[in-house]
Chain A
């Protein structure tokens, strides 16, 4: 069942483009080209509202205020004005996000997706990312069901990445939180550990992110990709 997104935008060209993009991204768009109060019955089944602040005859902020009085539906505000006062005001009135025109369509879809992303339920003692299954209690790692023997550093490293799958983690953070401070704790050492880990895991599960550090490939669940870009290319080695 596609999620329904209400777009309130007076410009026909822009409105049409956004509607088309939303549909292609798998949402069910609903487009109003005039600003008016949203009756409570229309709010039923709405997953998100995209609201243009500059509508003829209506002040977008009033619609927002009205909406917030009756509903908690996420609101993404669009505005041609790159103005802090407007942003602060919209956020105070309960907007969830603020986008300044112009924007690329991908940018908008990414924001909508980020807003509608459901938090993945994770058990405290078990991490599952793609083919990886990490039991934190038993400190046991399985790849496609097969147990893999890891050293303490390798296990901690993998756990750190798996906690935020698809998100790049900096080398500095990993050195500080994963390596034993008593022993040689440099980024060079980290890279050595990573190359050993890669041999054990095989494939491109642990990605190197240029200039940053490492990332666990998000695998088969793009919805859990925090940066919202499932088509990202693997990073290049620096």
Chain B
């Protein structure tokens, strides 16, 4: 529903009953006043000397409008015909009982007489309402119960005598003249405040409705443009506040959308890269297995090196999957670190356990040393373990049969720990190393540009170290290969 319509209906809903109530009260009061006046006029008339006699003398014709006493002249009022005869020229015809003519407000009152049994001798007298008959039984003055039927007012009066054809007198009249008879107040002054209120409401609501329309249009425009435009409404009232709130909401929507896009992109990249990266070692693995199968079918001597290569590919695949999953998390924006106390002794032992089978197959001596008592640091155990694992696996993978890899966990100085990984392999060229640890170097570049795809592993190690404020150093080892140091603070 439109705002204006709603406002109009609300105003109407509130005003209409108020007006009805006021009018009813006003009508009730005017009826009461008219009843009092009629009773007063009737009593005054009947109690004048001779009035009763006149009535009782000609009950069949008595009735009509009491004539006012002449304002001039000295004759006593009772000398004058106080009652005109209905047939008389000065009297207006008495109001008919059957209402063939609409009663108009402001008409003069008429009186009729009834005997003790409430029968009228005058055929023009109206038949009494049952309400009046009932009411007069217990009181001296009976009025019709109030209804907004019109301006007609009837009062039945018990005279101070109890016999004769004029024991009861019915006084009939109307309320004062007014617009719509007795219903609406006589004066139209009430129209003025009502008019002022309506004009004031329209004046106040008009601009508000206009601004709300403008705001609605602005919001629609902004939504149509994917919430890229801002929504503003000048001023400092509630509508301006609404505009600002909407602006803030659309900004939030923009942020969420951008975040969602970034996540979706990361997921798509992950899927694409994973498929690409996984298919190659998987193909190599299939080729190795196929070779083994063919040789077995030909009863050729068993070639251990093919089997070792196949195992190596499987191991590489496992490491790659872990690294890709972590790379996705790291690339997807602000990575969430689940920091908790990590037992580095256990971590190193797990890493050793993971790579020992493959090192043994490649004939590489993999050794480790950890202090007697556990060294604990606060870190995300999955990330840190993968970081260490990548260094160790890198040392194994880039080594020769008969080579060595040693992993040392030591507490050095000032509550710092150091994980050192040594090997006697060929090492990594300086240029490759420096590129891997470049700021802003992304995981997918590490996969494609670094040799053997292992660039990804070291790149993740670098990023994890940065996230945990660990020092990561690559340098040539004294045994001819690479020495990688990962240093950080102990303690949870």
A167 located at the interface, meaning its Cβ lies under 8 Å from any Cβ of chain B in the complex: yes
Question: Would you call B369 and A170 a contact (CB within 8 A)?
Answer: yes
B211 located at the interface, meaning its Cβ lies under 8 Å from any Cβ of chain A in the complex: no
Take A88-B340, A213-B369 as given contacts and tell me if A238 and B381 are in contact as well, using a CB distance cutoff of 8 Å: no
- The chain A residue sitting closest to B478, CB to CB, is A238
- The chain A residue sitting closest to B340, CB to CB, is A88
Q: Which of A105-113, A142-150, A196-204 contacts B (4 or more CB under 8 A)?
A: A105-113
Interface string of B362-398 (1 = CB under 8 A from A): 0001011101100000001111001000000000000
Question: Would you call A88 and B338 a contact (CB within 8 A)?
Answer: yes
Give the distance in Å from the alpha carbon of A83 to the alpha carbon of B382 in the complex.
6
Question: Would you call B367 and A103 a contact (CB within 8 A)?
Answer: no
Q: Which of A204-238 contact B (CB under 8 A)?
A: 209-213, 227, 229, 233, 235-236, 238
Q: Which of A178-200 contact B (CB under 8 A)?
A: none
Q: Which of B214-222, B404-412, B439-447 contacts A (4 or more CB under 8 A)?
A: B404-412
B34 located at the interface, meaning its Cβ lies under 8 Å from any Cβ of chain A in the complex: no
B475 located at the interface, meaning its Cβ lies under 8 Å from any Cβ of chain A in the complex: no
Give the distance in Å from the alpha carbon of A186 to the alpha carbon of B477 in the complex.
19
Closest CB-CB distance, B333 to chain A, in whole Å?
Answer: 17
Question: Would you call A102 and B318 a contact (CB within 8 A)?
Answer: yes
B interface residues, how many (CB within 8 angstroms): 34
Closest CB-CB distance, B343 to chain A, in whole Å?
Answer: 10
- The chain B residue sitting closest to A85, CB to CB, is B338
Give the distance in Å from the alpha carbon of A227 to the alpha carbon of B366 in the complex.
12
- CB < 8 Å neighbour of A235 from B325, B356, B365: B365
Question: Would you call B404 and A111 a contact (CB within 8 A)?
Answer: no
B357 located at the interface, meaning its Cβ lies under 8 Å from any Cβ of chain A in the complex: yes
B422 located at the interface, meaning its Cβ lies under 8 Å from any Cβ of chain A in the complex: yes
A116 located at the interface, meaning its Cβ lies under 8 Å from any Cβ of chain B in the complex: no
Take A84-B338, A170-B408, A172-B410 as given contacts and tell me if A209 and B381 are in contact as well, using a CB distance cutoff of 8 Å: no
B195 located at the interface, meaning its Cβ lies under 8 Å from any Cβ of chain A in the complex: no
Max chain B Cβ within 10 angstroms of own Cβ: one of A104, A110, A111, A233: A104
Give the distance in Å from the alpha carbon of A213 to the alpha carbon of B477 in the complex.
16
Closest CB-CB distance, A82 to chain B, in whole Å?
Answer: 5
B353 located at the interface, meaning its Cβ lies under 8 Å from any Cβ of chain A in the complex: yes
Give the distance in Å from the alpha carbon of A111 to the alpha carbon of B352 in the complex.
11
Question: Would you call B369 and A233 a contact (CB within 8 A)?
Answer: no
Question: Would you call A236 and B381 a contact (CB within 8 A)?
Answer: no
- CB < 8 Å neighbour of B382 from A87, A107, A163, A212: A87
Closest CB-CB distance, B399 to chain A, in whole Å?
Answer: 12
Q: Which residues of A contact B315 (CB under 8 A)?
A: 104
B354 located at the interface, meaning its Cβ lies under 8 Å from any Cβ of chain A in the complex: yes
- CB < 8 Å neighbour of B367 from A83, A87, A106, A168: A168
Q: Which residues of A contact B386 (CB under 8 A)?
A: 82
Question: Would you call B356 and A236 a contact (CB within 8 A)?
Answer: no
B255 located at the interface, meaning its Cβ lies under 8 Å from any Cβ of chain A in the complex: no
Q: Which residues of A contact B358 (CB under 8 A)?
A: 104
Give the distance in Å from the alpha carbon of A85 to the alpha carbon of B386 in the complex.
15
- The chain B residue sitting closest to A99, CB to CB, is B350
Question: Would you call B383 and A227 a contact (CB within 8 A)?
Answer: no
What size tier do the contact residues of chain A reach?
20 to 34
B479 located at the interface, meaning its Cβ lies under 8 Å from any Cβ of chain A in the complex: yes
Closest CB-CB distance, A38 to chain B, in whole Å?
Answer: 26
Give the distance in Å from the alpha carbon of A88 to the alpha carbon of B378 in the complex.
13
Take A82-B322, A236-B404 as given contacts and tell me if A110 and B353 are in contact as well, using a CB distance cutoff of 8 Å: yes
B349 located at the interface, meaning its Cβ lies under 8 Å from any Cβ of chain A in the complex: yes
Closest CB-CB distance, A95 to chain B, in whole Å?
Answer: 13
Give the distance in Å from the alpha carbon of A221 to the alpha carbon of B198 in the complex.
104
Q: Which residues of B contact A82 (CB under 8 A)?
A: 322, 325, 382, 386
A169 located at the interface, meaning its Cβ lies under 8 Å from any Cβ of chain B in the complex: yes
Q: Which residues of B contact A167 (CB under 8 A)?
A: 369
Give the distance in Å from the alpha carbon of A229 to the alpha carbon of B367 in the complex.
11
Question: Would you call A210 and B357 a contact (CB within 8 A)?
Answer: no
Q: Which residues of B contact A170 (CB under 8 A)?
A: 369, 408, 410
Give the distance in Å from the alpha carbon of A227 to the alpha carbon of B424 in the complex.
22
Question: Would you call A233 and B365 a contact (CB within 8 A)?
Answer: yes
Q: Which of B396-447 contact A (CB under 8 A)?
A: 404-406, 408, 410, 422, 424
- The chain A residue sitting closest to B317, CB to CB, is A102
A164 located at the interface, meaning its Cβ lies under 8 Å from any Cβ of chain B in the complex: yes
- The chain A residue sitting closest to B363, CB to CB, is A233
- CB < 8 Å neighbour of A238 from B349, B372, B479: B479
Give the distance in Å from the alpha carbon of A106 to the alpha carbon of B355 in the complex.
10
Closest CB-CB distance, A117 to chain B, in whole Å?
Answer: 13
Give the distance in Å from the alpha carbon of A85 to the alpha carbon of B336 in the complex.
11
Take A107-B356, A211-B479 as given contacts and tell me if A168 and B322 are in contact as well, using a CB distance cutoff of 8 Å: no
- CB < 8 Å neighbour of A84 from B352, B369, B383, B477: B383
Please, could you name 21 A-B residue pairs with CB atoms under 8 Å apart, sorted by A? A82-B382, A83-B382, A84-B338, A87-B382, A103-B354, A104-B357, A107-B356, A107-B357, A110-B353, A167-B369, A168-B367, A170-B369, A173-B371, A209-B369, A210-B365, A210-B404, A210-B479, A211-B408, A212-B369, A235-B367, A236-B365
